[in-house]
Amino acid sequence: MKKVSLLIIFFLLSCGNITKQKPNILFIMSDDHTSQSWGIYGGILQDYVKNDGIKRLEKSGVVLENLFCTNSICVPSRASILTGQYSHKNGVYNLPDALHPDSLNVAKILKINGYQTSIIGKWHLKKEPSGFDYYKVLPGQGLYNNPFFKTKNNWEDGYRGGKQENGFSADIIGNSSIEWLKKIDNDKPFFLMTHFKATHEPFDYPERNKNLNKGVFFPEPSSLYEFDPEESGRKHIGQVVENLTDRWVSATINNTARYPGMPFSVDNLDRKETRSKTYQKFIGDFLKSGAAIDDNIVKILDYLESSGLIDNTVIIYTSDQGYFLGEHGYMDKRWFYEESARMPFVISYPKELPKGKRIDDLLLNIDIPSLFLDFADIEQPKSFQGFSFKENLISNELKSRKYIYYRYWQHDIKRPAHLGIRSKNYKLIYNYGDGLGKSGTNKIKTEPNWEFYDLINDPSENFNSIDNPDYKKIIDELHKQLIIEKNKTEDLELEIPQIS
């Protein structure tokens, strides 16, 4: 009888230990830190990137090649990662929109199931964060230098409020994340979202990184001098590199301190020389800003190792979307083109995941919260529209999409509202050009048009092949599938016309 009692006690203690062994989850996310600037995805800038922390995660974990956001702009992408829903389901379509505190989000679910939860850094969702035991977030986009941070003690909705701290934002966010980790209950798992402001425009950087790549002439993308979109078959202007030229020249004339590395001049330069000079400063600043993120990834990884937490911590580093670094003559994001919609992503958890693996399955940002819950052994709610890709990371028996559906709602004349579908090999985009009365949209409509890209023969999407008769069968099939995928996500706003 005594032996049986001892066995029962041992079993109960074992169950308790199993509960304690739920993995910690550290989700590190930057802003616009596109895959071209990570140095682990190849590309023309790979030799100029400071990526010690990113490489540590790459070597110890799995890199995703084809993870995409569902709406390539900061606020909606962040809302989708929290709610597991497309914009038309969570109500966060555009930059002015807010995520309401009563929305179901993954932090709430983890907290209810025993996780200590925290978000530190960029929030950008207007209303007070919910589901977090602790938060320390930037008001809106926040400042790079001597930023303000809002906590429960001084919260105000919107972009105002907070307490100012001295230092560079990435360093404060990294240090604050470590400070929170030092105070956790080690008998309970944690969920920490560390969100850097970098590398968002104005691409600022700390003093220690000012000489990074000094004197370097960066290689240029082959499509940098695409001045006339008509030559590529595109019907829109986009946000071109010269937007930065104008902002830097204006900052120089008005002696404003928003941008680093001033003054800037393009006097006596022709069109091509102006774009080239702007591109060189753009990339130099961007990589210096990205280096500050990497500095702090290293710092956090070092702390996790020294504290013994790293062995039971799932560590993810990603960006809320991609960003153009001169491709097609563009800067910024928003488009359903590869550089903009693709999210770089690396995940490390040596206890369960292989090391040095790369997978090219079609995945979406709405799958990320499902992955969190899968690691925590928690069933996802019915409201989530994604699926966990944990098994994809581990084995070759993969659950993957044949297609992904994308929709950008924040219509503007230069960047029309559009939606589209992507398979492994092809992409179809419908630029419908109508704000549909949504917040932050231009009321002037643009002429609808279609784009099609063969991602095998034209991976850089340099030419719109929508009128090429050789692709008619493929385009017709994608068009049918686009309607199916749109309906599947319950996006019922706007009918998709035939391709004329």
Burial grade of 25 (CB within 10 A; 0-12, 13-18, 19 or more): buried
Per-residue confidence (pLDDT) for residue 397, from 0 to 100: 65
Residue 174 shares a structural domain with residue 318: yes
Residue 119 shares a structural domain with residue 178: yes
Q: For residue 189, give the CATH number of its domain.
A: 3.40.720.10
Buried b (16+ CB within 10 A) or exposed e, 215-237: eeebebbebbbbeebeebbbbbe
Question: Considering the domain boundaries, does residue 396 fall inside one?
Answer: yes
pLDDT at 77 over 90: yes
Structural domain ending residue among the three candidates 402, 437, 465:
402
> What is d(CA 371, CA 247) in angstroms, rounded to the nearest whole number?
40
Question: Considering the domain boundaries, does residue 390 fall inside one?
Answer: yes
Per-residue confidence (pLDDT) for residue 395, from 0 to 100: 87
Question: Considering the domain boundaries, does residue 4 fall inside one?
Answer: no
Residue 390 shares a structural domain with residue 409: no
Q: What is the pLDDT of residues 1-48, one digit of tens each?
A: 333 333 333 333 333 334 458 999 999 999 999 999 999 999 999 999
Per-residue confidence (pLDDT) for residue 400, from 0 to 100: 77
Per-residue confidence (pLDDT) for residue 15, from 0 to 100: 39
Question: Considering the domain boundaries, does residue 241 fall inside one?
Answer: no
Residue 95 shares a structural domain with residue 177: yes
Domain count, the chain: 2
Q: For residue 471, give the CATH number of its domain.
A: 3.30.1120
> What is d(CA 242, CA 327) in angstroms, rounded to the nearest whole number?
13
Residue 164 shares a structural domain with residue 35: yes
Q: What is the pLDDT of residues 309-345, one digit of tens each?
A: 999 999 999 999 999 999 999 999 999 999 999 999 9
Residue 317 shares a structural domain with residue 389: yes
Average pLDDT over residues 340-360: 97
Q: What is the pLDDT of residues 80-126, one digit of tens each?
A: 999 999 999 999 999 999 999 999 999 999 999 999 999 999 999 99
Per-residue confidence (pLDDT) for residue 398, from 0 to 100: 65
pLDDT at 462 over 80: yes
Structural domain ending residue among the three candidates 362, 377, 402:
402
Question: Considering the domain boundaries, does residue 480 fall inside one?
Answer: yes
Question: Considering the domain boundaries, does residue 106 fall inside one?
Answer: yes
Question: Considering the domain boundaries, does residue 269 fall inside one?
Answer: no
Residue 289 shares a structural domain with residue 434: no
> What is d(CA 416, CA 410) in angstroms, rounded to the nearest whole number?
8
Residue 347 shares a structural domain with residue 421: no
Q: Show the domain range for 414.
A: 405-488
Residue 202 shares a structural domain with residue 108: yes
Burial grade of 432 (CB within 10 A; 0-12, 13-18, 19 or more): buried
Rounded to the nearest integer, the mean pLDDT of the chain is 94
Structural domain ending residue among the three candidates 387, 402, 417:
402
Residue 398 shares a structural domain with residue 481: no
Please state the pTM of the whole predicted model: 0.95
Residue 318 shares a structural domain with residue 434: no
Question: Considering the domain boundaries, does residue 248 fall inside one?
Answer: no
Write the CB contacts of 399 (distance below 8 Å, at least 6 apart in sequence). Answer: 387, 389, 391, 392
Residue 148 shares a structural domain with residue 79: yes
Among 274, 351, 278, CA closest to 312: 351
